[in-house]
Structure formats: structure tokens, C-alpha cells
Chain A
Amino acid sequence: AQKITQTQPGMFVQEKEAVTLDCTYDTSDQSYGLFWYKQPSSGEMIFLIYQGSYDEQNATEGRYSLNFQKARKSANLVISASQLGDSAMYFCAMRSLNYGGSQGNLIFGKGTKLSVKP
């Protein structure tokens, strides 16, 4: 069975500093995708970044980068130059891309609440 573990219920970071949000995963699939979503207090889930299991380079999207360590089964999100608007819940999620696997629904972790201090 697939599982996502986020061990940090809450994190604090000073504005303009970088922060790393941890995510480890468990799967027996050979092909899978890893996603990070941001959920502000208003409730919408905002897609941030994607990493495929066969991608050789770490994904980057603006201030977001994904530190992908396949052997360790970790996919940590790095946010550089934190802004007050980054305060939100952050969810790591995984999706099987295996032929014959699940229909591709996302498996989510429990999330990390990030608070950015001015």
C-alpha cells in the first residue's frame, strides 16, 4: 500500500529565510509521481510542484524546489526566501503511474502547517 508521511505538524520560519518541509513515502510501484500542494486557511488546494520517479533532476518552480532522494524515498519541499503569504498548510501527495495500478488518485500526507514570522 502507498503511504505518505509528513513528520512535522508545524514549522516556523523567519520571513526571507529558506525552509524545508519533510516528506517520506512508501510504495512498491516502479513508476509514480510526487506532488506538493498548498492549502491556505481559505481552503483551496493549490498545486505547487511535481516530481516524477524517473526524473533525474530535482524539480524547481520559482521559489519552490523539490529535494528528491529516491533511495531514501524522500521528497522534501524547499521554499526559498519565505514570504508572509506562504503561511499555510502544505501537503505532500503521491500518485501511482504504473500500468494496471490504481486509477491515479492522490494519496496525501497529514500536512505541515507553516507559519512565516515577520
Chain B
Amino acid sequence: GAGVSQSPRYKVAKRGQDVALRCDPISGHVSLFWYQQALGQGPEFLTYFQNEAQLDKSGLPSDRFFAERPEGSVSTLKIQRTQQEDSAVYLCASSLRGLRSNQPQHFGDGTRLSIL
């Protein structure tokens, strides 16, 4: 399809393991966002890319979280040494334009991460 694609859909990991979550945005979309959604809450911003440049990573909760988008399309969110509080749904969104755009962000189905 033409929407934002995230994989895996579900991920279970043991505490201390590293995980990698993938996002494939809509083709041609300049902006890519990662959000974290805890159970029963609204999504919270993690980081933002404009093409391959990571312009804002102010929402990343710790230095265990790392994101990249090396060729300006697919993005990977990596969490090292996972902890139980990392359990959440991780949503990726993309939009056509960058700064100061009124374009809506289109979301993927998310990756539900459970840390045991």
C-alpha cells in the first residue's frame, strides 16, 4: 500500500536486550517523526527528521534511544539495553513538507514493544 509501514508489528524482548524498529514512510515525504505512546495516553514526540537530517531529538528519553534515517527514506529507531519502562507503542509518522507546514502527519500502525 501507499501508507506508512512499520515493522515489526509486535516485539517482545527481555530486559537488557537491544531492539530495532523500522519505519518506511510514504514515498516522497520529507518529514518523519517518531512518537512513543504509553498505554492509555496520547503519543509523545521522540524525534524528527527532515530528509536525512535529524533536526530535533529533544524527546528521546535517554541516550539508550537512537534514531537514524541515512538515505532520507527508511528510518530505524534503536533502543539499547531495554528496560521495562520502554514498553509502549512506537508510532512513526511522515508528512509531505517540512517546517511550518499545515500538512497532516500520516501514521503507521505502530510497533507494540513489550519488555519482560
A residues lining the B interface (CB < 8 Å):
4, 31, 33, 35, 37, 42-47, 50, 52, 91, 93, 97-99, 101-111
Given contacts A106-B43, A111-B42, contact A44 B110 (CB under 8 A): yes
Task: Give min CB distance, B8 to chain A, whole Å.
Answer: 13
Beta-carbon contact of B100 and A47 below 8 Å:
no
Residues of B within 8 A of A98 (CB): 100
Give the one of A42, A99, A108 with max B CB within 10 A. A108
Given contacts A35-B104, A43-B112, A50-B104, contact A109 B45 (CB under 8 A): no
A97 partner, pick from B42, B89, B102, B112, beta carbons under 8 A = B102
**Which of B13-21, B60-68, B73-81, B91-99 sits within the interface?**
B91-99
Q: How large is the interface on B (under 10, 10 to 19, 20 to 34, 35 or more residues)?
A: 20 to 34
Task: Give min CB distance, A59 to chain B, whole Å.
Answer: 11
Residues of A within 8 A of B89 (CB): 43
Instruction: Name A50's closest neighbour in chain B (CB-CB).
Output: B104
B residues lining the A interface (CB < 8 Å):
31, 33, 35, 40-45, 48, 50, 55-56, 59, 89, 91, 93, 98-102, 104-110, 112
Given contacts A35-B104, A50-B104, contact A43 B109 (CB under 8 A): yes
Task: Give min CB distance, A39 to chain B, whole Å.
Answer: 9
B100 partner, pick from A37, A97, A107, A110, beta carbons under 8 A = A97
Beta-carbon contact of A42 and B109 below 8 Å:
yes
Bound complex: CA A91 to CA B42 (Å): 7
Bound complex: CA A95 to CA B108 (Å): 19
B101 partner, pick from A37, A44, A99, A104, beta carbons under 8 A = A104
Beta-carbon contact of B56 and A102 below 8 Å:
yes
